Chain A
Amino acid sequence: MTPTTTPALLEGSEAIADAMIAAGCRFFSGYPMTPFTEVLEHMAAKLPGVGGTCMNAESELEAVGMAWGAAATGTPSATGSTGQGLSLMQESLAELAYAAVPMVVLNMARAQGDYWQATRGPGHGDARMPVLAPMDVPEATELTQLAFHLTARWRNPVLLFGDYYLAHTSTSVTLAPLDLPPVPADDWSLDGSTSGTGRARLVSPLGTTKRNERGGYDLAQHYARCAARTEEMLAGITPLVETRDTDDADVVVVAFGTPAKYVRAAVARLRAEGARVGFVRPITLLPFPSDAVARAAAGARVVGVYENNQGQMVDDVRLAVAGATPVEFIGRLSLDGSGFGIAPDLDGGYLRERIEELLA
């Protein structure tokens, strides 16, 4: 699907696939796993038509490896999985950051238990990976485009953090191209053309300096440079956040992703009935919108954090508020028997009760 102004009824997985292709993605590799599988199906069906390649990798390790190889040739590339598969990829994701290789990574997660994996990862060491968490399918098409922009801009893997609902909900979508600034020219990727010139390119997580005395890498120097690049990247990305009705709020509720849409509706009903309740939704989970959360919390009596896990983002909210306002966790892990994240708790009445407990 090319960018269009005509709405189409699309499953989230297909809308994300379309958005990836519209954003320039020409290489995708993956290994089936619910609820990520349909993204792989759509990419396998659609990429060849635009001259791209989709690989059915033999494991998540190979999926990220194949995307790494393609990305190193300057081909916009992506891979993905579900949280467990992302755990398998973590060694590569961390080293991709050290190698300054761009890649978009999808986590079509089960519930929201991968918040720490997403935001504290991507793996070992001091590497970081920006995380974008859409609330619904239309927003996912925009954040997918933003992810490809950010990964090209900062040459660092970027995570799009979705879930079962996002992957499987069909909705009316208009794929509108985002107006994004230009990215730096590609002066690093591999095509063989610099071989034999005396200045052959090197793409390596161990360092980019060539012709060291007697070979070998200077890892201390390289990791120091990586740390500086990471710091620059995190400072250079504007945190995205949605806030509602926080100015006079007695209670502020913070939520992200699909559950945030349910929480927002519950907050809106209470507000319509006169309750002084506000709403904050971090859209970038890394960098976390700490300033916006702190501003929203100022003047509130209590901040409630709703997540469909045992309490993970609540740590970041507490760090943002820095003790100025009490922060209470009001979520819990809510699954059906399949474990995929079809949450009984995502119910307007239940969520309203949890928020009313804070208002009492």
Chain B
Amino acid sequence: MTNYLPTDVAPTVGAHLVDDFTPTLLDIGEHNLCPGCGEPIAMRAVLEAIEAIGAVSRAIGVIGIGCYTAFSNNLDIEVLQALHGRAPSLATGVKRAKPETLVLTIQGDGDMVNEGLQEVLHTAARGENVTCFMLDNGVFGETGGHMTATTALGQRTKNTLDGRDAAQHGFPIRVSSLIAELDGAAYVARGAVNNAGNVARTKKMVRRALETQEAGLGFSFVEILTMCPTGWFVETPEAPEYLTSTLAPIHAPGVLKDVRA
């Protein structure tokens, strides 16, 4: 029988928690997401950027449906929980009714690109003054690792067991590139959270996107490539490298559009 250490009791010897790195705008730091998941890192970047630009008391988050939904009743910003695919239209209603608020959405690739692609495209085309974030790991993580519209060719998922084959499953959609083509989009970037350098660059993108909204310049969008070792069927330590070798070649990190540049 495995003798696991209790997790709810502070150890009397050995390592001690000397600081709590829970983001200020998160009620409880613990979560049920898998080890190695990239979504908490992306969520932290968003929450810290809201604080950094001094917009906490005007912030409303519209959250989609995916693993990250676990945070939707655990954030210390006001949350409007959306249906799968529908966050951009809800965000539109919020912002139009209360233009003084800072409105941001969190969706995954399944939520945004599969279920609700037309929502984000129209919201961008309208130049809606909101910020949409897409946590892109190339799989439906919550259902256990199934193909989405951003899954890379050759990537193994539970319903592409031999790898995504273009002849059978079509080609992945680079949604940031689509959005950047739209005149209403003011800021479009793609970041990643698989190493410290990418995290630092992504945090800047997130902040820049929110600042674009604050300046009233139009639609802002950051796609964030996140690790999903469970849905990728790789060992946790291998996930950052898998992101680099599998997702990043077709979804290349970088700033695609910045009207302030």
Interface residues of A (CB under 8 A from B): 26-27, 29, 53, 55, 57-59, 61-62, 65-73, 75, 77, 91-92, 95, 99, 190-198, 200-207, 209-217
Contact = CB atoms under 8 A, between A and B. Distances in A.
Contacts of A198: 27, 76
Given A58-B122, A204-B81, A69 B97 contact: yes
Nearest to B79: A202
A207 B73 CA distance: 8
18 contacts: A27-B93, A27-B97, A62-B119, A65-B89, A68-B82, A69-B62, A72-B90, A72-B94, A73-B101, A190-B80, A190-B101, A195-B25, A200-B76, A202-B81, A210-B27, A211-B28, A211-B73, A215-B73
Given A65-B88, A192-B77, 14 more contacts: A27-B93, A53-B96, A58-B122, A61-B119, A65-B86, A65-B119, A66-B96, A69-B94, A70-B96, A192-B101, A200-B78, A204-B73, A206-B72, A217-B73
Contacts of A72: 80, 90, 93-94
Interface of B: 24-25, 27-28, 30-32, 56-60, 62, 69-83, 86, 88-98, 101-102, 118-119, 122
Contacts of A27: 93, 96-97
Contacts of A209: 73
B107 to A, nearest CB: 13
A196 B25 contact: yes
A68 B119 CA distance: 14
Contacts of A211: 27-28, 73-74
A214 B101 CA distance: 29
A89 B101 CA distance: 27
Contacts of B30: 214-215
Contact of B89 (A62, A77, A201, A212): A62
A71 to B, nearest CB: 7
Nearest to B121: A58
A39 to B, nearest CB: 18
Nearest to B76: A200
B56 A195 contact: yes
Given A206-B73, A214-B30, A92 B92 contact: no
A73 B81 contact: no
A92 B85 CA distance: 11
B102 A192 contact: yes
Given A58-B118, A200-B78, A200-B79, A66 B90 contact: yes
Contacts of B118: 58-59, 62
B56 to A, nearest CB: 4
Contact of A57 (B62, B71, B89, B97): B89
A65 B97 CA distance: 13
B187 to A, nearest CB: 21
B13 to A, nearest CB: 25
A192 B74 contact: no
Nearest to B63: A204
A86 B58 CA distance: 33
Contacts of A77: 93, 97
A214 B28 contact: yes
A214 B7 CA distance: 12
A215 B92 contact: no
Contact of B93 (A69, A99, A205, A213): A69
Nearest to B27: A211
B173 to A, nearest CB: 18
In the A-B complex, the 8 residue pairs with the smallest Cβ-Cβ separation, listed nearest first, are A69-B93, A65-B89, A204-B81, A69-B90, A70-B93, A196-B56, A70-B97, A192-B58
Given A65-B89, A200-B76, A216-B70, A55 B96 contact: yes
A59 B80 CA distance: 21
B125 to A, nearest CB: 9
